[in-house]
Amino acid sequence: MLKKIQICVLACAVSVAAISCKKSEEASGQSQTTVSQQTLDKIEKLGFSSENVVARNGGYLVEGDILLTDENLKSDPGSPNLRIAQDEQYRTTNLVNGLPRVITVSVTNLTAPYSQAADVAIARYNQQNLRITFQRVSSNGNINIIGFNEGPSGGYITLGSAGFPTASGNPYNQIQMNTNEAAYGSNPDVNYLASVLTHEMGHCIGFRHTDYMARQYSCGGKRKVNEGTAGVGAVLIPGTPSTPDAESWMLACSNGGNRLFNANDVIALNYLY
């Protein structure tokens, strides 16, 4: 089985980890609060899975590593998603506006590997010559990377989490990275951390998981039939394949290694930014 890049790591006896957004409810170190059906309906209307939703401070954790705020739940989807073939590059209703734009990134109270990984992730985006660029600052960045310590539970461990742009067009302002040794080991690999950060930064500027509609492609398990009743549609990017899109930086699950942008990721990034 593939390690999860759901920014969740699958913890086995040999410490296999998952990177992306799939995290079980049991992995949360916080108390679980019942989520109302009304809230679940709103989550589905926005095109997100309503399975295993966890109430968290500031909103609701969905699909493992995505934090939806109350502001997100009040939004009214009115524009199409971005689609790449059978496995699709999805964006959220809100995107970063005011382009061209510099987005500052800070790292608070984390060790050197996390700081180095932030610089690597920033460089990966800036090498694409987009209309958004990222710039490292010492504090109070538009996106602040902070740590939390949460061990594995129920077979999963959360590697990181982030939210989506605001209705006013600003990037989500925080990425949380797990500092527990079970997540990245006692000597974290910088490129592995950078891959997780690049994925979470993708969420911050409006990208969803590439294989949201067919999560078994990278994760195995059940397939979600549709995105709910929002009627947001999808746009197929010209020149992209009609077969599954392997190794996308926004795939829900991965082998936990170093993940770069593939050719279709570059098309998607340039399409939006």
CA distance 215 to 50: 14
Tell me what pLDDT residue 31 has. 39
The token pair that represents 66 in the structure block = 């995505």
Hey, which CATH number is domain 8-272, 3.30.70.20, 3.90.1150.10, 3.40.710.10, 3.40.390.10?
3.40.390.10
Q: Which residues contact 64 (CB under 8 A, 6 or more apart)?
A: 4, 6, 7, 8, 20, 21, 22, 23, 158, 252
Q: Are 179 and 2 in contact (CB under 8 A)?
A: no
Q: Residue written as tokens 């990984």?
A: 117
Q: Are 43 and 60 in contact (CB under 8 A)?
A: yes
Q: What is the DSSP string of 3-48?
A: PP-BSEEE--TT-----BS---GGG-SSPP-PPPHHHHHHHHHTT-
Tell me what pLDDT residue 96 has. 94
Tell me what pLDDT residue 216 has. 63
Tell me what pLDDT residue 154 has. 63
DSSP 52: T
Helix or strand holding residue 81 (H, E):
strand 81-83
- Angle CA(147)–CA(189)–CA(247) in degrees, nearest 5? 95
pLDDT averages per 10-residue partition of the chain, 273 residues: 36 33 37 76 79 82 81 67 60 86 98 98 98 98 95 76 90 95 93 95 88 63 42 49 71 77 89 89
Tell me what pLDDT residue 23 has. 36
Look up the pTM and report it. 0.78
Q: Are 117 and 258 in contact (CB under 8 A)?
A: no
Tell me what pLDDT residue 228 has. 34
Tell me what pLDDT residue 222 has. 53
